[in-house]
């Protein structure tokens, strides 16, 4: 994952913040029921990592070879 972060220009702290925000919005949709907190984080992490992977691939495709 670190390689993808470097290629996207996103720091590990920024990634963590992005995941936290995505998890918050997931929790908000559930009216902050505490039963789903862990799953919110897992799902948010997968969502953010997928977006970062896509961004990394797009940047790689645009880079001169």
Sequence ranges of the domains in the chain: 2-47
In the three-class reduction of DSSP (H, G, I as helix; E, B as strand; rest coil), residue 9 is classed as coil
Across all residues in the chain, what is the average pLDDT? 88
Q: What is the DSSP letter of 36?
A: G
Output the CA torsion sign for 12, 18, 22, 25.
positive
Q: What is the DSSP letter of 29?
A: H
Cα–Cα distance measured from residue 52 to residue 4, given in angstroms and rounded to the nearest whole number: 7
Cα–Cα distance measured from residue 22 to residue 45, given in angstroms and rounded to the nearest whole number: 8
For the chain, residues with pLDDT lower than 70 are 1-6, 65
pTM over the 0.85 mark? no
């Amino acid at each position: 994952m670190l390689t993808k972060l470097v290629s996207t220009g996103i720091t590990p702290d920024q990634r963590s913040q992005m995941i936290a925000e995505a998890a918050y919005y997931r929790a908000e949709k559930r009216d902050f029921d505490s039963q789903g907190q862990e799953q919110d984080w897992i799902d948010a992490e997968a969502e953010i990592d997928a977006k970062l992977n896509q961004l990394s691939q797009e940047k790689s495709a645009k880079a001169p070879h």
